[in-house]
Amino acid sequence: MSFPTVSEIVDGSPAYAAGLAVGDELLSICGVLPSDVIEYQQLVDESEIDLTVRRGRLEWDVCIEKAPGAPLGLRLDSSIFDRVQTCDNHCEFCFIYQLPPGMRKSLYLKDDDYRLSFLYGNFTTLTRFTELDLARVVDEQLGPLYVSIHATDPAVRSAMLRNQRGATSLRWLRALLDHDIEVHGQVVLCPTINGGEILERTFAEVILRYSKLASVGIVPLGLSRFNQESNLRVHTDDEARAVIEATEHWQGIAQAQLGRRMFFASDELYLQAGVEVPAGDAYEGFPQHENGIGMARAFYDELEELERGAGHQVHESTGSFASLPAAPAEGYRAPRTLAAGEGNGDSPPGGARGGGNAAGSLGVARQLQPDSPTVIITGIYGAEVIEPVRPRLERLSGRSLRVLAVPNAFFGGNVAVSGLMVGEDIRATLAADTGPAARYLIPDVTLSGDRFLDDTTIRDVAEAAPAPLLVVPTSVAGIVAGTRR
């Protein structure tokens, strides 16, 4: 059990006024040592907060008075203070097993903790879920939660997770739904393992046994060049098309029986199959936007709204407590943006705040070429989404644009999403780029602080850029704003 440790103080906040400082340990809050930031938030929502604080060898008590529910004004260094529930599955398709050696330690963290599911939208298999966990989730109404289903056939699920408890742990999903906890599911689809008839059975049994699920995402497995599982392979184009057809077929059945579509296929499947993504209303509010489902359509919808001069509603991060003043999620699912760890401690981590300012300074010393196009740096899939609407983006921004796709040599395999671009690949692509460029725009989703997944810094990449480099929010508005800076 560790103590909550202050990593940031908001100027002028109640915590600042009480004399708290970065590095202080909170030994107790209202007489309680919280096990996680969920419990912490419940404790500090009160109007009178009694703290026992330790700074070095000095301990003291302090009472902070504030309005009920008002932020205390500090960010903590962790979200879980007792111990993260690590994953004891050994899924052959787990992408963490496909990471190269030598990366940041946090990227290899394999959690299966329902609290991180609630906080940040991490998917859990429920194989380590207990009666005590269920009691707390129900008592505190900790939803939505995000559950990896993969297959409803017990033998198939157990084999996929390489864990005998995988055959029975979906009983907890049933219990959560029976207690009206909002749950979103996903199926990571592996050809020849849980596709075809197995997928059809999963669709049918979800409707029959888990009809209260808020949504179920169908996503293809990702394979890097470091994959060691010989029986895993990527989908063929025809298989991707068949998965889309099956998903849309079962959407119709769910719509008829439940009044909603429930099942949603990922953008990667549509892009691979060469099938146009559905209209915005087909995604029913984009419940799995961060899981790569509906991102392309949301981008197109945003473009259309901005063309009409209408305001646009940004999709919020999954996890009800994503805006808590705590540390961002760790590991492979941690949000990666330039603003992470910066700015107001009571602001949501992972947003667009501050991104342009930090990156803008990288272009000051370079000479602008105002008559050249602004270059949008993106992944292979991102280029497929952006290129068809590039003329519309040009009209909206008022200047010419060029799309520069970055092949993912670092991970290899079928990894082609923008969020997994690394600095090494971007730097190589920029160094080889001979096209005209007034400036380069890079999506903030690729960054954690000022670093990419491979620990290359944004400044390292900027040094290879033939023109100024600007980090922008991963959106139409971000592109437009970047062209006008």
- Read off φ and ψ for residue 323, nearest 5 degrees: -100, 10
Mean pLDDT of the chain: 87
Per-residue confidence at 92, pLDDT binned at 50, 70, 90?
confident
The answer to whether 307 touches 396, Cβ cutoff 8 Å, is yes
Question: Residue 101: CA atoms inside 13 Å, Cβ hemisphere, count?
Answer: 0
What residue segments make up the domains of the chain, in order of their start? 6-76, 95-293, 331-484
Q: Domain 6-76, what architecture?
A: Roll (2.30)
- Residue 481 pLDDT > 60: yes
pLDDT digit string, tens, across residues 162-200: 999 999 999 999 999 999 999 999 999 999 899 999 999
pLDDT digit string, tens, across residues 302-345: 999 999 987 666 666 565 444 444 555 555 555 555 443 332 23
Q: Quick one: 356 exposed, middle or buried, by C-beta within 10 A (0-12, 13-18, 19+)?
A: buried
Per-residue model confidence (pLDDT) at position 162: 94
Per-residue confidence at 362, pLDDT binned at 50, 70, 90?
low
Threshold 0.85, pTM exceeds? yes
Question: Residue 178: CA atoms inside 13 Å, Cβ hemisphere, count?
Answer: 9
* Pairing status of strand 183-189 against strand 145-148: parallel
Mean pLDDT of 284-299: 94
CA separation for the pair 178, 128 (Å, rounded): 19
Per-residue model confidence (pLDDT) at position 175: 98
Contacts of 350 (CB under 8 A, 6+ apart): 317, 322, 328, 335, 336, 337, 339, 340
CA separation for the pair 152, 168 (Å, rounded): 10
- Residue 437 pLDDT > 80: yes
* Pairing status of strand 25-29 against strand 48-55: antiparallel
The answer to whether 202 touches 152, Cβ cutoff 8 Å, is yes
Question: Long-range contacts of range 131-139, CB-CB < 8 Å, 24 or more positions apart?
Answer: 134/172, 134/175, 134/176, 134/179, 137/176, 137/179, 137/181, 138/179, 138/181
229-233, 353-357, 468-472, 476-480: least confident range: 353-357
1-10, 127-136, 335-344: least confident range: 335-344
The Cβ of residue 365 has, within 10 Å, a number of other Cβ atoms equal to 8
Question: Residue 26: CA atoms inside 13 Å, Cβ hemisphere, count?
Answer: 33
Q: Which two tokens stand for residue 464?
A: 């290879």
Per-residue model confidence (pLDDT) at position 361: 38
Per-residue model confidence (pLDDT) at position 344: 28
CA separation for the pair 194, 282 (Å, rounded): 25
Which amino acid type is present at position 29? I
The answer to whether 298 touches 272, Cβ cutoff 8 Å, is no
Per-residue confidence at 110, pLDDT binned at 50, 70, 90?
confident
Structure-token match 């998917």, residue found = 123
- Residue 67 pLDDT > 80: yes
- Residue 48 pLDDT > 50: yes
- CA-angle at 300, arms to 347 and 121, nearest 5°: 40
Per-residue model confidence (pLDDT) at position 207: 98
Per-residue model confidence (pLDDT) at position 311: 67
Q: Quick one: 485 exposed, middle or buried, by C-beta within 10 A (0-12, 13-18, 19+)?
A: middle
Q: Domain 95-293, what architecture?
A: Alpha-Beta Horseshoe (3.80)
Per-residue model confidence (pLDDT) at position 364: 38
Structure-token match 């739904």, residue found = 177
CA separation for the pair 175, 131 (Å, rounded): 10
CA separation for the pair 107, 452 (Å, rounded): 12
Mean pLDDT of 138-149: 95
Per-residue confidence at 357, pLDDT binned at 50, 70, 90?
very low
Per-residue confidence at 251, pLDDT binned at 50, 70, 90?
very high
Per-residue model confidence (pLDDT) at position 334: 53
Size of the chain in residues = 485
Per-residue model confidence (pLDDT) at position 448: 82
Per-residue model confidence (pLDDT) at position 323: 41
Per-residue confidence at 15, pLDDT binned at 50, 70, 90?
very high
Query: To the nearest whole percent, how much of the chain has pLDDT over 90?
Result: 70
Per-residue model confidence (pLDDT) at position 240: 97
- Residue 346 pLDDT > 60: no
pLDDT digit string, tens, across residues 449-480: 888 999 999 999 998 899 999 999 999 999 99
Per-residue model confidence (pLDDT) at position 159: 95
CA separation for the pair 33, 31 (Å, rounded): 7
- Residue 432 pLDDT > 90: yes
Per-residue model confidence (pLDDT) at position 71: 87
Q: How far is CA 253 from CA 205, 225, 282, in A?
A: 12, 38, 14
Q: Quick one: 398 exposed, middle or buried, by C-beta within 10 A (0-12, 13-18, 19+)?
A: exposed
